[in-house]
Amino acid sequence: MAPIRVVIEDIEPQVDGGSAAVRRVSGEEVKVEVRIFTDGHDQIDGALLFRFAKSNAWQTTPLLPLGNDLWQARFTVRELGQYEYTVCAWVDAARSWQRDFKKRFAAAQETEVDFVLGAQHAVALALRAPKVDARRLTEWANALTDAKRGREERAALAASAILSDYAHRYPDPQLVLRHEPPLKVEVERERARFSTWYELFPRSTSAMPGVHGTFADCEARLAYVAAMGFDVLYLPPIHPIGVTERKGPNNHIAAAADDVGSPWAIGADAGGHKAVHPQLGTLDDFRRLLTRTEELGMEIALDLAFQCSPDHPYVHEHPEWFLHRPDGSIQYAENPPKKYQDIYPFNFASDAWRELWVELKSIVEYWMAEGVRIFRVDNPHTKPFAFWEWLIAEVRQTRPDVIFLAEAFTRPAAMYRLAKLGFGQSYNYFAWRNTKSELSEYFTELTTAPLSEFFRPNLWPNTPDILTEYLQFGGRAAFMIRLVLAATLGASYGIYGPAFELMEHNAREPGSEEYLDSEKYQLRHWNLERPDSLCDFIARVNGIRREHAPLQTNSDLKFHRIDNDSLLAYSKTNAERSEALLIVVNLDPQHLQAGWVELDLRAIDVVAEQSFQVHDLLSGTRYLWQGARNYVALDPQHAPGHIFRIRHHVRSERDFDYFT
């Protein structure tokens, strides 16, 4: 046989030429587009092949032409784990014949020989078809060349779908090109896409000021967190804390005897990464906390901080897992000239790397066995990429419902690499994107391919490490603005509380993003009853997120023009486009800002002539708008923004009053 004539190019979606997987959650679609074409004028045909990777059987669905050699097909992923997909294409001689036949017949040309050719195509198909279909094809071929039948009748037969349908089903395998190797989709559960996180330090949950909080205190706090509408409760490390070189309040070098230390200095006499800190309670206490969290519709995310305090049992049990200096000391963490003597990093390149990797995996498995399904990974970019790729693949092999969030505040290439190799969610630069151009550029990048195909941002306006200038100096409005932005720009977002809802804004020193009296180094007691607390506002925003599908996805984010640089306007729709939201935020926490928004009406599915209602889900107010240009004014002392639901079919001003 001569070489295959059809060409397959530019399959989308595709990450790094197929070496990394596209990410989806269960129930989502993969819309595949591909350029297929051949030389000359022959008809071509093609199919999308897909399968859950653990199953053997490929499912197929026809590719449909979009024009200009671009073809499309879709499939929906359901199972958690890996799917594969690829494309095949072929030159279709039978359909080429059919197309040409119709033109010849329409031009009243002689077609007797063409009937014979058509019959030959059918006979060739019949040889590849199962019995029943083969019989139908043979009958069709006989009828086509039956001189007793009228020319019109045979022409109608020739043009019928019988031939083209079978041609699609039984292409000549020698003409079929298949793209190899297949491309991959990594499928996670829905929470990998849509989640609302709350971080708290369990040791700061005691009702009594100055008393070390426990898992039981934490349990008592759950209802408060759930009432605000969060669904993931993230706890900093809950393990025994080292004593040697322990840091005091505000990261002072010398800790006093009763200083509690940093939870990230993991390991002490009481144990390491598989133990719980005695002051928090017992493993049973933790188990009860887990259960109670689930009962409230939330789940717990644990912190994976793969590093040790000098007192960690690993340090004497496995000295080979650490780097030793020529003077015999163990290499502590450093960012010269800064020294972190309370932290020993693992040496991932030691000769005993295999044993180390296996042990670290066993830590994850230990907490998985306790029922934990979400891990927030501390500084993954300071451990080898190959380690994470291996660890996450191993875990997801047996438990594909486990989600990993990468805390990699580093340069984009490394941040994105971690997402490619397995992290289902990622911290990102949101905290430092404040202006209209910063936000619109960054979120356009995040929500369009290639990034949108594998990188799921989790937006945090604050963390225990990050108190931005904007929050330090913007007052209450700044916190509300950043919350609305996080909650509506990202399908996943989180806050570090109660610092956030209580608007904690004092930095350790000028120019620092560290909190004064940070919980990282000391207990804090929070007055949750403060009348200015943002907890009701947060509950309202999270309620809107739960009720409105566009806020549960990062697809179809579209920025709209607005003639005031302090106002940001963007719309979101859900995949089915059953609903559209328009969000307008005043980025200036100090002043009222007003302007004219110029809507891209197609993005929100509004017909140009039609008037439509915008219903602010935050305030409950409704406005009747018409056309692209509409006026917005936002006073940050009253409202940080609008979260408008677009309501169509408002036909007259009179209807407006009756509209609910």
Number of residues that bind a second copy (CB under 8 A): 51
At closest approach, how far in Å is the CB of 341 from a second copy? 13
The residue within the footprint of a second copy, chosen from 95, 191, 273, 383 (CB under 8 A), is 383
Q: Which stretch binds a second copy (CB under 8 A): 39-47, 131-139, 593-601, 644-652?
A: 39-47
Please tell me whether residue 334 binds a second copy under the rule CB under 8 A.
yes
Please tell me whether residue 4 binds a second copy under the rule CB under 8 A.
yes
Would you call 585 helix, strand, or coil by DSSP? strand
Residues paired with residue 629 on neighbouring β-strands, in sequence order: 598
Q: Cβ(380)–Cβ(415) under 8 Å?
A: no
Q: Cβ(630)–Cβ(596) under 8 Å?
A: yes
Q: Which stretch binds a second copy (CB under 8 A): 114-122, 559-567, 610-618, 631-639?
A: 114-122
Q: Which stretch binds a second copy (CB under 8 A): 100-108, 274-282, 437-445, 518-526?
A: 100-108
The residue within the footprint of a second copy, chosen from 12, 33, 35, 647 (CB under 8 A), is 35
Distances (CA, A) of 491 to 255, 306, 409, 514, 534: 41, 28, 20, 27, 20
Please tell me whether residue 324 binds a second copy under the rule CB under 8 A.
no
- 179 versus 642: smaller Cβ distance to a second copy: 179
> Which residues 6+ apart lie within 8 Å of 62 measured at CB?
45, 46, 47, 48, 73, 168
At closest approach, how far in Å is the CB of 484 from a second copy? 31
Q: Which stretch binds a second copy (CB under 8 A): 38-46, 495-503, 534-542, 565-573?
A: 38-46
Residue 479 belongs to what H/E stretch? Answer: helix 469-489
Please tell me whether residue 5 binds a second copy under the rule CB under 8 A.
yes
> Which residues 6+ apart lie within 8 Å of 547 measured at CB?
none
At closest approach, how far in Å is the CB of 69 from a second copy? 4
Q: What are phi and psi of 132, to 5 degrees?
A: -60, -45
Please tell me whether residue 325 binds a second copy under the rule CB under 8 A.
yes
Closest listed residue to residue 610, CA positions, set 651, 645, 644: 651
**Cα–Cα distance between 640 and 621 in angstroms, integer?**
14
Please tell me whether residue 559 binds a second copy under the rule CB under 8 A.
no
- 417 versus 572: smaller Cβ distance to a second copy: 417
The residue within the footprint of a second copy, chosen from 382, 472, 555, 637 (CB under 8 A), is 382
- 132 versus 349: smaller Cβ distance to a second copy: 349
Give the strand pairing for 567-573 and 558-562.
Answer: antiparallel
**Cα–Cα distance between 433 and 439 in angstroms, integer?**
6
The residue within the footprint of a second copy, chosen from 132, 148, 256, 336 (CB under 8 A), is 336
Site string for a second copy, 399-418 (x = CB under 8 A): ------------xxxx--x-
Q: How many CB atoms lie within 10 A of CB 411?
A: 10
Q: What are phi and psi of 360, to 5 degrees?
A: -65, -40
List helix spans (H) across 318-399.
Answer: 353-369, 385-398
Please tell me whether residue 211 binds a second copy under the rule CB under 8 A.
no
The residue within the footprint of a second copy, chosen from 72, 120, 164, 444 (CB under 8 A), is 120
Catalytic residues: 378, 407
At closest approach, how far in Å is the CB of 336 from a second copy? 4
Q: Cβ(361)–Cβ(368) under 8 Å?
A: no
Q: How many CB atoms lie within 10 A of CB 597?
A: 19
Site string for a second copy, 340-379 (x = CB under 8 A): --------xxx--x--------------------------
Q: Which stretch binds a second copy (CB under 8 A): 2-10, 155-163, 279-287, 472-480?
A: 2-10
Q: Which stretch binds a second copy (CB under 8 A): 76-84, 242-250, 384-392, 537-545?
A: 384-392
- 103 versus 654: smaller Cβ distance to a second copy: 103
Q: Which stretch binds a second copy (CB under 8 A): 22-30, 158-166, 383-391, 475-483?
A: 383-391
**Cα–Cα distance between 609 and 290 in angstroms, integer?**
54
Distances (CA, A) of 553 to 456, 458, 606, 646: 10, 12, 21, 17
The dihedral built from the CA positions of residue 30, 36, 41 and 44, taken in this order, carries a sign that is negative
List helix spans (H) across 530-617.
Answer: 535-547
At closest approach, how far in Å is the CB of 315 from a second copy? 19
Q: Cβ(170)–Cβ(136) under 8 Å?
A: no
How many residues are there in the chain? 660
Q: Which stretch binds a second copy (CB under 8 A): 157-165, 326-334, 494-502, 647-655?
A: 326-334
At closest approach, how far in Å is the CB of 150 from a second copy? 21
Restricting to residues 52-71, which ones interact with a second copy according to CB under 8 A?
68-69
Please tell me whether residue 147 binds a second copy under the rule CB under 8 A.
no
* HSE toward the beta carbon, residue 174, CA cutoff 13 A: 7
Q: What angle do CA 628, 631, 637 make, to 5 degrees?
A: 140
Please tell me whether residue 100 binds a second copy under the rule CB under 8 A.
yes
Strand stretches in 135-175, DSSP E: none
At closest approach, how far in Å is the CB of 346 from a second copy? 11
**Token duo for residue 410:** 């580093």
Restricting to residues 462-491, which ones interact with a second copy according to CB under 8 A?
none
**Cα–Cα distance between 128 and 137 in angstroms, integer?**
11
Q: What angle do CA 40, 41, 43 make, to 5 degrees?
A: 120
- 251 versus 329: smaller Cβ distance to a second copy: 329
At closest approach, how far in Å is the CB of 331 from a second copy? 10
Would you call 593 helix, strand, or coil by DSSP? strand
Residue 633 belongs to what H/E stretch? Answer: strand 629-634
Task: Give the CA dihedral 457, 463, 465, 470, nearest 10 degrees.
Answer: 90
- 353 versus 623: smaller Cβ distance to a second copy: 353
Please tell me whether residue 181 binds a second copy under the rule CB under 8 A.
no
Please tell me whether residue 337 binds a second copy under the rule CB under 8 A.
yes
Q: What residues make contact with a second copy under the rule CB under 8 A?
A: 1-5, 7, 9, 16-17, 35, 37, 39-41, 68-69, 99-100, 103-104, 106-107, 109, 113, 116-117, 120, 325-327, 329, 334-337, 348-350, 353, 381-387, 411-414, 417
